[in-house]
Amino acid sequence: MGFMGFWGLGCTVNGIRVYLQLEQRNVCFKITVLDGGDHKKARNKLYKLFVNEADKFGLRVKKPKRFGSGKTMTFAVLETEIFDSGDKPIELESVVKLMKDLGIFIKHCAGLDD
């Protein structure tokens, strides 16, 4: 089995790019600090924000196995079983709905609500 990946649903606020990345069965929230800012401070701030706001959207967000320390890093992971379908095909409609919901969630956390 090869690597399944997807990057998207991102936005840039104050020199920090926030986006979603699917890594196999993991739904990861990532940042890239563009302007040489404080990576650790940005990571910690966004982690706390995403965890605290997740309930409002019916989501469960947790800390990754370990925090990174580079320019680009995972700061939170979505708890979901949407990709754990066993031998059954993944339900595409459920994935599309989740991606739409996560796009709204990311914009909300970035302060870019419509």
Most distant CA pair in the chain: distance in Å? 45
Whether the CB-CB separation of 110 and 19 falls below 8 Å is answered with no
pLDDT in tens, 51-93: 999 999 999 999 999 988 888 899 999 999 888 877 888 888 9
Backbone angles phi, psi at 65, to 5 degrees: -55, -40
Print burial letters for 74-103: b (CB count within 10 Å at least 16), e (below 16): bbbbbebeebeeeeeeeeeeeeeebbeebe
pLDDT in tens, 85-114: 778 888 889 889 999 999 999 998 888 765
Residue spans of the domains in the chain: they are 5-109
pLDDT in tens, 5-52: 677 888 888 888 999 998 878 899 999 988 777 888 889 999 999 999
